[in-house]
Structure 1
Amino acid sequence: MSAGESLTARMRGLLRTPARPPLWVAIDPQRVDRPLSGGLLDPRRDYFAVRINRLHLGYEREWFTRYVPVVFAATEFSHDGTSTVAPAMVGPGLIEQLGGATPVGTVVADTRVAGPHPVPPEGVAVSVVLYRVEKEQLAQAFLDVVQSAAGALDLAAGIAPFTALAKVVVNGVTALVGGDQPVLARRDSFAPVTPGHYALVDDTGAVDPADLHVEHGELAQRVGGGLRPYRASDYVLYSIEGVPPTAVDLARLPLYRLWQDVMGQATTAVSDELWNGTKAIMSTLVGLLYASPDLTWEHARMLEQDWTQTMVTLREAAVRRAHLADDQQRPDMARSRALAVLDL
């Protein structure tokens, strides 16, 4: 069993059956006030991200008095030919910071738990689990370590270190929740990948899925002729969204250091020999662009064109500066020779 498969098995161990099966609803885009743009995501062109849009906690469960919430999310997909799990944890500290206890519950909004990553051809699977942990049993220092590990996950650093940190997160969540049943738990596969909103609801049988909408980033229910925020029970609203290439942090990629070298050499490549050396490094960089598992093919093509033009522009500026320096030196040399006559 590979490291990725072992991690997947551990992660799925957290998906124990809740005491009551939750209601899962794919919200029709026509029932979303700000629907996510785009149709099917193209693996050659598009990036995806998974976001927890809203977590509502029913006040009747004694949240933050007897229990604290722990949300675990995991996104499974292929990266560099390897099965990968991107785990994330939203702990009570972040929930209180973004939401805060209110008479009608607590919310946490717009927390990205995966991505941006290139869309894999075989699709993705998303697991969302809401646990309640006895407040007196919570080890805050241990929780902080797990949350820090989750925040440090970065596939661009390589599969091996990523998997090691991912195991820390999964094992840490397992230790935190112990053998407790989750309040909500669900795993779903999306192939092909389409942007959309999905709700996981601790349903009491009082809501019709066709009446659920997304309004102002939270779940709403149609009652009579209008919409009102859904407050009847706990729920997690999450989404899969397309992400533009501009959202990808290129500076975190290993190949970006090589691009910095190209720029540095292009600014001094005034001779043909230096320029040929710069172009040779750029040729290597182009190969890395298309081979990178963190970039789509279309994004790599765009970067090749943009970076090549930038390299040429930097070199042309270097040559102009060199010619300007030569032009400034000629009058100085003539003036020096003329003044030298006075010393005869």
Structure 2
Amino acid sequence: MIENISAMLGALLPAPVAQPVVKSFGKEKSFPEMSAGAPIKRNEAYFEVRLNQMCLANNVKWFSVYDPLVVITVGFDYGGKSIEVPAVLGPGIIQKHLDSGAPQFGTVLSDLKVIGPHPYRGSGISISISFYRVERMNYTRSLLKVIERLSGIIGMGQIATLASTGGALLDGLEGLLGGGATVCMAAYKFNLPPPNYPLQTGYTALIVPPVPDNLDTLLVRDSRLLQKEGGEERPFAGSDFVLISVAGMQRRENEQFFSAYDLKEQALSIISEGEASRKRAKAIMLSAFQQLRGSDDFTKLEADLLFEEWLQEFDKEVSRYSRANAMPIRHNQPELALAANDLNQAMDRLSL
């Protein structure tokens, strides 16, 4: 009798709900060799968070009833304080990829730089990933597009602005996603590196049920999530998932977005105005170097390397002008604008 009652009660209980899983991939499961596990050195290198894949299983409700949305937030030290920077990958950016011929199922987004590069200051980073579905016919979807644009318009060299607005952006996003029109399918937050380990490059996958029975069959090759069964590797496509990575680099390669670069260009542009302006150009170059060395966006190592490269540009431009000026056929020197003359006289008074 008791056994029958237990069986009846068991039948009334809800079945266990399948849970999303998170799988991290170090150098043992990432290919080619050295695509993961490389150290990101404190104050010497930059880190960058990338979305390698957003993959959607073949579900008729995607893009007819629901839109996918991924929110990635990265916390790190900037300017001596801890900040959180959000990135929203939703209907707007996905639609652009679909319009360009990307498939509706399988990998719909790939190889996107989400956040960074930023100098790694040694106190670790935190990453949170949330994967949502948003009803298409709902006002929330339109508002999410606005927030998506806001999180994307703050470009390189403006991380300080984003640091001050990121909290408001997250608050607004949380308010929207708290409604009934959005469902969080999976979410995960983790800190890097683990205690007593250096920060290293690597991959992390957030997988929505159904999940593989054996997660050890998963691997990453060429920044794509694969499953190896029977000795054969195939793209993993049985579930909705997001694959992200933390990458490291010695040079940020986007110095043109910073004001120090504008100063360097200004200095080069006035070399041809004559010896007096050349003195002013040197002072502008010095200001550019001071900005590089005092910036929270550059490592000291790159600031020094970059300025050496700029000095070589400066010397070449001076040499080019000197050769042109020594040609036997002389043209009249361009008449300096009044403002340039005033600046040159001011430089002389400062004995620079």
TM-score (structure 1 length as normaliser): 0.79
Contact 1:147 1:169 in 2 (8 A): no
Percentage of identical aligned residues = 26
In the alignment, which of 229, 233, 243 is matched to residue 227 of structure 1? Answer: 233
**Which AA in structure 1 matches 2:231?**
G
> Which of residues 254, 259, 263 in structure 1 aligns to 2:268?
263
Q: Is the 8 A contact 1:153 1:166 kept in 2?
A: no
Closer, same or farther: CA 65–305 of 1 in aligned 2, 3 Å: same
> Partner letter of residue 194 of structure 1?
Q
Match of 1:108 in 2: 109
- Contact 1:46/1:296 (CA < 8 Å) preserved in 2? yes
Aligned to 1:321: 324
Question: What is the letter of the counterpart of residue 323 of structure 2?
Answer: R
**How much has 1:115 moved relative to structure 2?**
1.0
Q: How far off is 1:93 after superposition?
A: 3.8
Aligned ranges for residues 322-337 of structure 1 at < 5 Å? 322-324=325-327, 327-328=328-329
User: SS of the residue aligned with 1:307?
Assistant: helix
Letter in 1 for 2:150: A
**For 2:159 and 2:144, how far apart are their aligned partners in 1?**
25
Give the C-alpha shift of residue 165 in structure 1. Answer: 4.3
Cα distance in 1, alignment partners of residues 280 and 221 from structure 2: 56
1:203 and 1:143, CA in 2 relative to 1: closer, same or farther beyond 3 A?
Answer: closer
Q: How does 1:211-250 map to 2 (within 5 A)?
A: 211-245=217-251, 247-250=252-255
Compared with structure 1, are the counterparts of its residues 201 and 37 closer, same or farther at alpha carbon in structure 2 (3 Å cutoff)? closer
- Number of equivalent positions: 304
Q: 1:203 to 1:317 in 2, by over 3 A?
A: same
Other-structure match for 1:51: 50
Distance change in 2, residues 1:267/1:47 (3 Å): farther
Q: How does 1:302-317 map to 2 (within 5 A)?
A: 302-317=305-320
Please tell me whether the aligned partners of residues 199 and 235 of structure 1 are also in contact (alpha carbons under 8 angstroms).
yes
Aligned to 1:185: 187
Partner amino acid, structure 2, of 1:100: P
SS in 2 for 1:267: helix
1:1-344 to 2 correspondences below 5 Å = 21-35=19-33, 36=35, 39-60=38-59, 62-96=61-95, 97-98=97-98, 99-102=102-105, 105=106, 107-154=108-155, 156-157=157-158, 159=160, 161-167=161-167, 169-179=169-179, 181-191=183-193, 192-204=198-210, 206-245=212-251, 247-269=252-274, 271=275, 273-324=276-327, 327-328=328-329
Cα distance between partner residues in 2 of 1:236 and 1:275: 53
* Aligned mates of 1:39, 1:67 — CA distance in 2: 38
Q: Deviations over 1:272-305 (max 9, x none)?
A: x444333232222222211111111111111111
Q: CA deviation at 1:172?
A: 4.0
Give yes or no for contact 1:268–1:318 (8 Å, CA) kept in 2.
Answer: no
CA deviations 1:213-255 (Å, max 9, x no partner) are 123533222222222222332221111112352x532121122
Q: Which runs of 5+ in 1 are unaligned?
A: 1-18, 331-344
Instruction: Give the letter aligned to residue 130 of structure 1.
Output: F
Deviation for aligned residue 1:129: 0.5
Give the Å deviation of 1:183. Answer: 0.8
* Local SS of the residue matching 2:273: coil
**Aligned 8 A contact 1:157 1:254 in 2:** no
C-alpha change, 1:138 and 1:227, in structure 2 (3 Å) is: farther
Deviation sequence 1:1-29 (CA, Å, 0-9, x none): xxxxxxxxxxxxxxxxxx75432111132
What's the RMSD between the two structures over aligned residues?
A: 2.6
CA distance in 2, matches of 1:58, 1:251: 40
> Which segment drifts farther, 106-115 or 201-210?
201-210
- Please, which runs of 5 or more residues in structure 2 have no aligned partner? 1-16, 332-352
* Equivalent position of 1:339 in the other structure: none
Change (3 A) 1:231 1:310: closer
**Residue in 2 that maps onto 1:7:** none
Residue deviations 1:41-77 (CA, integer Å, cap 9, x gap): 1233322211111122233583223222111011111
Q: Go from structure 1 to structure 2 and tell me whether the alpha carbon gap of 1:164 and 1:119 turns closer, same or farther (over 3 Å shift).
A: closer
SS at match of 1:182: strand
TM-score (norm 2): 0.77
Shift of the 318–106 alpha-carbon distance from structure 1 to 2, 3 Å rule, reads closer
Q: Measure, in 1, the Cα distance between the counterparts of 2:163 and 2:171.
A: 12
For 2:159 and 2:94, locate their aligned partners in 1 and report how far apart those are by CA, in whole Å.
Answer: 30
Between 191-200 and 52-61, report the one with greater CA deviation. 52-61
Distance in 2 (alpha carbons) for counterparts of 1:40 and 1:106: 29
Residue identity opposite 2:146 in structure 1: V
